């Protein structure tokens, strides 16, 4: 058995989710005829409190459609230097949108300094790209951003006439972590109310095989609909996919707390292992810094024993509905043995590791 902690994108649809997909009423969504897609769009628009929503094949396309709907050719958007839309989406905004990114340094919480944002907003002058949009990402490395920062940064943007986009691939992880006794629904709204548009992934912790949604005003979504078609994202009987996302919204939101608890279990178990330093864990992502360049050796040893993770010096372990406490405990055993042993080859030869 493989304990796959590389990402929460690796989940397989459950039997109940597959059943929902099988039974979903379908139509041609390019004609606006798919009842399941329409139901999902209404549902996620209602959850995020936005006028309209659009089902998207991926988070990357959802973010790109948002950027292209907010900005025109020659406009720019302000974004974190390490943010997904800037760093991990192939430069799509520039390549396909003719939108200039203005990346800014971020602190460990993913925040760009307010003074840096203010300084990056260009005057209206033909020398400059027109600064149109501020984009934030949350959760950031598994950490939900503070309400105070969201309010300040989006307030500053609005004060300068900028629109605001939220890459909320893991919005529901942030909302569950910040619910604090209240409802997750209220927590979602507290986060997204700061923004003009929101992109959310169904294919991460929520466990759907495919899909994201972009939510925003009627006008914005009309523009995004056009760009989605241009980008090749106009799907036909996509209700079969939307059914999985609807099922996920019904059944897989509150259970994100289980993923967060598993991440805590892993983090707690790693405390005190010499050579490892565990960063604080707030949702389903555990970052572990490994001393003395031992990260790659640990990673490949774990792989040899059925435990998958990513990273180099800082390793990343992501919990999700495809792993359980037993799997986490197995990972811990493997990590402890590796870090404690001088020679993993010797311990392997002794059969110190079970077959998983
Ligand atoms: C995964 C992710 C995306 C993009 O999602 P894909 O569906 O893989 O294209 C965007 N932003 C963030 C922060 C993500 O984690």
254 touches 208 (CB < 8 A): no
For the record, the structure tokens of 341 come out as: 């042993």
Q: What is the reported pLDDT for 341? A: 62
| Mutation pick for ligand 1 pocket among 60, 80, 211 (CB with most ligand atoms within 8 Å) | 60
Q: Which residues line ligand 1 (CB under 6 A)?
A: 58-60, 63, 84, 137, 167, 169, 201, 203, 212
Of the residues 217, 251, 285, which one is the last residue of a structural domain? 251
Tokens 């990590």 sit at which residue?
A: 335
Show which of 229, 251, 273 is a domain's final residue.
Answer: 251
Residue 161 · residue 132 · CB < 8 Å: no
Distance between CA 205 and CA 319 in Å, rounded? 8
Whether residues 292 and 174 share a domain: the answer is no
Structure confidence at residue 157 (pLDDT): 98
Using CA atoms, how far residue 332 sits from 160, 209, 303, 340, 350, in Å, is 49, 28, 13, 12, 19
| Mean pLDDT of the chain, nearest integer | 94
CATH number, domain of 289, equals 3.90.1150.10
State the distance from the centre of ligand 1 to the C-alpha of 169, rounded, in angstroms.
6
pLDDT per residue over 286-319, tens digit each? 999 999 899 999 999 999 999 999 997 789 999 9
127-168 per-position pLDDT tens digit: 999 999 999 999 999 999 999 999 999 999 999 999 999 999
On whether residue 8 sits in a domain, the answer given is no
- Residue nearest atom 10 in ligand 1 by C-alpha distance: 59
Does residue 272 carry a pLDDT above 90?
no
CATH of the domain at 201: 3.40.640.10
Residue 348: its pLDDT value, please? 43
- Judge if 336 and 203 occupy the same domain: no
**Residue 344 pLDDT:** 44
Provide the whole-model pTM.
0.93
Residue 10 belongs to some domain of the structure: no
Question: What pLDDT was estimated at residue 313?
Answer: 75
> What's the pLDDT tens digit per position in 85-103?
999 999 999 999 999 999 9
Cβ neighbors of 32 (< 8 A, separation 6 or more) are 38
Question: How far is the C-alpha of 243 from the C-alpha of 323, rounded, in Å?
Answer: 23
Structural domain count, the chain: 2
Residue minimizing CA distance to atom 8 of ligand 1: 59
Distance CA 69, CA 221 (A): 8
Q: Where are the alpha helices (DSSP H) in the chain?
A: 15-23, 35-48, 59-70, 84-87, 92-97, 114-120, 147-159, 171-177, 184-192, 218-230, 239-251, 256-270, 295-304, 325-340, 344-349
pLDDT in tens, 182-232: 999 999 999 999 999 999 999 999 999 999 999 999 999 999 999 999 999
Given 203, 225, 251, which residue is the final one in a domain? 251
Burial class (CB in 10 A: 0-12, 13-18, 19+), 322: middle
Report how far residue 202's alpha carbon sits from residue 186's, in angstroms, rounded to the nearest whole number.
19
228-265 pLDDT, tens digit each:
999 999 999 999 999 999 999 999 999 999 999 999 99
DSSP classification of residue 26 = -
Kindly state whether residue 3 falls inside one of the protein's structural domains.
no
Residue 345 has a pLDDT of 47
- Give percent above pLDDT 90 in the chain: 93
Q: How far is CA 38 from CA 33, 64, 70, 241, 339, in A?
A: 8, 21, 23, 12, 51
What mean pLDDT is predicted for residues 264-283? 94
């Amino acid at each position: 058995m493989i304990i796959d902690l590389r990402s929460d994108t690796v989940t397989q649809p459950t039997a109940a989710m597959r059943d929902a997909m099988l039974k979903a009423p379908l139509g041609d969504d390019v004609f606006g005829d798919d009842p399941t897609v329409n139901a999902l769009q209404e549902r996620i628009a209602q959850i995020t409190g936005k006028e309209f929503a659009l089902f998207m094949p991926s988070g990357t396309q959802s973010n790109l459609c948002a950027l292209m709907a907010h900005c025109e050719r020659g406009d720019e958007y302000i974004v974190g230097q390490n943010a997904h839309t800037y760093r991990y989406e192939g430069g799509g905004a520039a390549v396909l949108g003719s939108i200039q990114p203005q990346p800014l340094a971020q602190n460990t919480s993913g925040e760009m300094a307010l003074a840096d944002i203010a300084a990056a907003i260009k005057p209206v002058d033909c020398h400059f790209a027109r600064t149109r949009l501020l984009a934030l990402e949350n959760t950031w490395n598994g950490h939900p951003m503070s309400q105070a920062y969201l309010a300040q940064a989006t307030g500053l943007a609005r004060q300068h006439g900028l629109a605001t986009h939220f890459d909320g691939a893991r919005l529901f992880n942030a909302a569950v972590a910040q619910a604090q006794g209240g409802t997750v629904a209220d927590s979602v709204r507290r986060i997204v109310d700061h923004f003009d548009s929101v992109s959310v992934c169904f294919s991460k912790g929520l466990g759907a095989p495919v899909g994201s949604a972009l939510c925003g005003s009627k006008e914005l979504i009309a523009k995004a609909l056009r760009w989605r078609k241009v980008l090749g994202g106009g799907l036909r009987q996509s209700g079969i996919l939307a059914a999985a996302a609807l099922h996920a919204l019904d059944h897989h939101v509150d259970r994100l707390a289980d993923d967060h608890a598993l991440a805590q279990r892993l983090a707690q178990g790693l405390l005190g292992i010499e050579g490892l330093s565990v960063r604080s864990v707030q949702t389903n992502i555990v970052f572990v810094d490994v001393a003395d360049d031992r990260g790659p050796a640990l990673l490949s040893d774990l792989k040899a024993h059925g435990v998958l993770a990513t990273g180099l010096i800082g390793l990343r372990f992501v919990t999700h509905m495809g792993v359980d406490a037993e799997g986490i405990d197995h990972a811990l055993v493997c990590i402890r043995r590796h870090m404690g042993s001088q020679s993993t080859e010797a311990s392997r030869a002794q059969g110190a590791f079970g077959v998983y």
